[in-house]
A = this chain, B = another copy of it.
Amino acid sequence: MNHNLHIFFQPRSVVLVGATDKSAWSQLIHGNFGAMGYDGQVWLVNKRGTPAHGRAAVTSCRDLPAVPDIAYIFVPTDAVREALEDVAEAGIRHALILSSGYAEAGPDGTQKQDGLIAYARDKGVTLLGPNSLGFINYVHDIPVSPFPVGKEYLRGHLAIVSQSGATTNVIANFAQQQGIGLSYAIATGNEADLDTARVIDYLAQDEATRVIAVFAETIKDPAAFRTAARKAAAAGKPLIILKVGRTELASQLAQAHTGSVTGDDRIFDAVCAQDNIIRVTSIEELVVTAGVLAHTGPIEGGVAIISISGGACEVIADTADLAGLALPPFAEATRATLQAVIADYGAIFNPLDVTGAAVRDPSLFERILTILAADPAIGLTACVYDLPRDGGDFVDRTALTCIGAGLAASKTPGIMINQAIRPVSAFSRNLMAELGIPAVTGGLDLAVRALAAAQRWSERRVRKGKADTGLSRQAAITSARPASEYETLIYLQGQGAPVIQVERAPTADEAVEAWRAIGGPVVLKIASSAIQHKSDIGGVRLNLDSEVAIRDAFAAIMTAARAAYPDAPIDGCLVAPMRPVGIELFVGIAQSPWGPVIVAGLGGVWIELLADTSLRLLPIDETEARAMLDELRARRILDGYRGAPAADLGAVAEAMCKIGNAALALGPDLVTLEINPLLARGDEVEALDALAVWRDG
């Protein structure tokens, strides 16, 4: 399974361009090869061919004995172009550039960067950087980076990708401190060529990598990112991301730092929801969540937690509620079996306080955990206990052994949880190996949030697997270009969306005829593509149910419209049946750098003052549409309020999908499509008004 970045991230030979004893960077980069025991070739190049780090050097990559797999360029910025030319002419096809002073330094730097990348593309050189602190391949002991690898490092299944080099190092160090083994740490820098998406794409097929943790300031190529994220998901590898730029200030900072503009943060949240990406808000959460998932893989069911501390159980209960972790009650059979083991206890909760009884009789840990792992609703067992860090800590080997045996008793994954976050030292890891403790995480707060994220990820994975066989992902583009309210409603109807019956009435006679045809009270609305806020100018009359009323209303509307818009083309009125009170929703479609998005909300104050909306990228399926409705702060109004019956959420969701697909079919020239309101009365759901706006329209 050789990916096209296989040679890039697993080079058998490296040339360091700019190697010199005088540079701390050069010392650190070179030193790492020895520290890690890299068994490939390392060559040095510098301007004068001066030996460095106790090795010979040459003045050009063309003078090397063979063509290296990769070049790491860390010469001064002004000399980068020349160095890259030398690299390309020597036939090297992979290069990293550490040097900075490019897009992150302003417009001049961006121009320089564009020049570099154009040259590299022309020569077929794949680039990481500029402004990249390189990568460390822990699996094959290949450190192409100045970050000190340290004497002991833990190999494992977590890959780290970060635009910020310093942050790459912080994340990698924190993971190692917490005993989490790494496969890769990759700093993508300015991403002039290789970007986060392409690196994820590589890691998605990398055998050693099971979980991918990303720190991102911006997503350079949204479409490629989504494709890579789906590839990781398809490979069963959770993608966890700390993306900054939630705030205006962070966006400004990101622009100053790597010269990139961050997108609308809400759209990124939608991408995460739809592509099953776990979004976190701190470095600690990124690493702890990754560590949990690297151990558990997908969790099939709820989580059962036990502790000898009642206080810990209470903290877990509160935190689980906030984080959305499902701690299901135990099955009747489980409870009965537990009662036999722990007869003294009162009520049996999840989390389960096993009390000091387990201190006196540590075998209870194993017996209780084994019982819980067998509960059909439980997909993971966890035991709160503190893993010793060093010889100074009190070590209860019997208790730890029983906990380990209980956690490892069945196929259901098990994990120990430290009460407050603490390092998982070499001492800790040796103890785990010796006493059979399968995994550890913590503290309570981070562990519960990580478990909640793992649970959500696992559930979505199952759901997505089913859903992707459902709705088609892309509607065919039509040549339709509806503009007026009438055309838009008729177009939506043609696409299968539920739309109110609506008749065109250029004259009062035709309005009367439409009223007769409808057979009940009607609404008259001005029909003019030039008039948008119809009510404001007196262009709407409600509840008309006689010929006189219709004619009066028609005349009044014409007069009002001509007074307000003397030059507007007016096509008479639209006539539609009068509907009783219902729940008014807003559904809108708009374009974004990530593609067309659909926005839903409740009408009135909710949209106008409180911007209470939810958002997804199109297309959506009905499950996603239901999730959008559930996210609304005013969600409960959909259950019915003040005379409006509860909305049938399935019918609303179906309408949203149909509207979304209809919008997609209109192609990229559609700027916005608004349905306002989409009226819901029980399972009667109808678009009462609609408007499409076109580019150049």
User: Chain B residues with Cβ under 8 A from A642's Cβ?
Assistant: 605
Q: Say yes or no: is A493 at the interface (Cβ < 8 Å to chain B).
A: no
Q: Say yes or no: is A12 at the interface (Cβ < 8 Å to chain B).
A: no
The reply to whether B170 and A253 form a contact with Cβ atoms under 8 Å apart is no
User: Chain B residues with Cβ under 8 A from A100's Cβ?
Assistant: 356
User: Chain B residues with Cβ under 8 A from A151's Cβ?
Assistant: 392
The reply to whether B217 and A317 form a contact with Cβ atoms under 8 Å apart is no
User: Chain B residues with Cβ under 8 A from A319's Cβ?
Assistant: 281-282
Q: Say yes or no: is A414 at the interface (Cβ < 8 Å to chain B).
A: no
User: Chain B residues with Cβ under 8 A from A173's Cβ?
Assistant: 386, 420
Q: Say yes or no: is A249 at the interface (Cβ < 8 Å to chain B).
A: yes
**Closest residue to A329 on the B side, CB-wise?**
B249
What's the nearest-Cβ distance from chain B to residue A578, in Å? 22
Copies assembled:
2
Q: Say yes or no: is A318 at the interface (Cβ < 8 Å to chain B).
A: yes
**Closest residue to A100 on the B side, CB-wise?**
B356
Stretch at the interface among A61-69, A160-168, A202-210: A160-168
The reply to whether A284 and B443 form a contact with Cβ atoms under 8 Å apart is yes
What's the nearest-Cβ distance from chain B to residue A390, in Å? 10
The reply to whether B353 and A605 form a contact with Cβ atoms under 8 Å apart is no
Q: Say yes or no: is A150 at the interface (Cβ < 8 Å to chain B).
A: yes
- With A170-B386, A170-B419, A423-B422 known to touch, is A313 a contact of B281 (CB < 8 Å)? no
**Closest residue to A356 on the B side, CB-wise?**
B100
23 A-B contacts (beta carbon < 8 Å): A106-B346, A162-B311, A166-B309, A166-B311, A166-B312, A170-B312, A170-B419, A171-B420, A174-B420, A174-B443, A217-B310, A244-B311, A244-B314, A244-B315, A246-B322, A249-B327, A250-B318, A250-B321, A253-B353, A256-B349, A283-B420, A608-B641, A610-B633
What's the nearest-Cβ distance from chain B to residue A439, in Å? 20
User: Chain B residues with Cβ under 8 A from A313's Cβ?
Assistant: 253, 257
Q: A residues 356-402 with Cβ under 8 Å of B?
A: 356, 386, 392, 394
What's the nearest-Cβ distance from chain B to residue A128, in Å? 17
Q: Say yes or no: is A242 at the interface (Cβ < 8 Å to chain B).
A: yes
What's the nearest-Cβ distance from chain B to residue A144, in Å? 19
**Closest residue to A423 on the B side, CB-wise?**
B423
User: Chain B residues with Cβ under 8 A from A446's Cβ?
Assistant: 284
Q: Say yes or no: is A199 at the interface (Cβ < 8 Å to chain B).
A: no
**Closest residue to A148 on the B side, CB-wise?**
B394
**Closest residue to A256 on the B side, CB-wise?**
B346
Interface, chain A (partner B; CB < 8 A): 100, 104, 106, 148, 150-151, 162-164, 166-167, 170-171, 173-174, 177, 215, 217, 242, 244-247, 249-250, 252-254, 256-258, 281-285, 287, 308-315, 317-319, 321-322, 327, 346-347, 349, 351, 353, 356, 386, 392, 394, 419-423, 443-446, 605, 608-610, 633-634, 636-637, 639, 641-642
The reply to whether A257 and B310 form a contact with Cβ atoms under 8 Å apart is yes
| Distance A246 CA – B448 CA, assembled complex (angstroms) | 15
| Distance A347 CA – B259 CA, assembled complex (angstroms) | 13
- Contact of A244 (CB < 8 Å), options: B171, B252, B284, B318: B318
**Closest residue to A349 on the B side, CB-wise?**
B253
The reply to whether B311 and A163 form a contact with Cβ atoms under 8 Å apart is yes
The reply to whether B244 and A282 form a contact with Cβ atoms under 8 Å apart is no
